[in-house]
Amino acid sequence: MNEEATGGKITVTEYIFREYKALTSQYVGVSQNLRELLPRIVELSKKTKLTDKKFNKGLILEFETMDREIAAALEHLRNIRRTLTQML
């Protein structure tokens, strides 16, 4: 749990709430990106050969971005779980 920029400590409940808010924001972003990616995945499923390098590179970049976003969301989830576990 981190201190505020002002130097004052935040409560455990405030910390959990902030982490949860960040988690849900990241989750919404990832969900939206996945929905936007669907037409490209459908297009990919219709191809018989994956020879369009530009198309493939674009998909790779999209998935790498989502991988980072999901990792960040998981970190918030783990922070909440760790905090709750420490309170036991």
Residue 39 Rama label (left phi>0; alpha psi -120 to 50; beta): alpha
Is 82's pLDDT higher than 90?
A: yes
CA 77 – CA 71 distance, rounded (Å): 10
Confidence of residue 6 (pLDDT cuts 50, 70, 90): very low
- Range 71-76 contact pairs with CB under 8 angstroms and sequence separation of 24 or more: 72/26, 73/23, 73/26, 73/27, 73/30, 76/19, 76/20, 76/22, 76/23, 76/26
Segment 37-71, tens digit of pLDDT: 999 888 888 877 777 788 889 899 999 999 999 99
Mean pLDDT estimate for the chain: 87
What is the pLDDT at residue 23? 95
Cα dist from 12 to 27, 60, 65, whole Å:
22, 39, 31
Percent residues over pLDDT 90 in the chain: 64
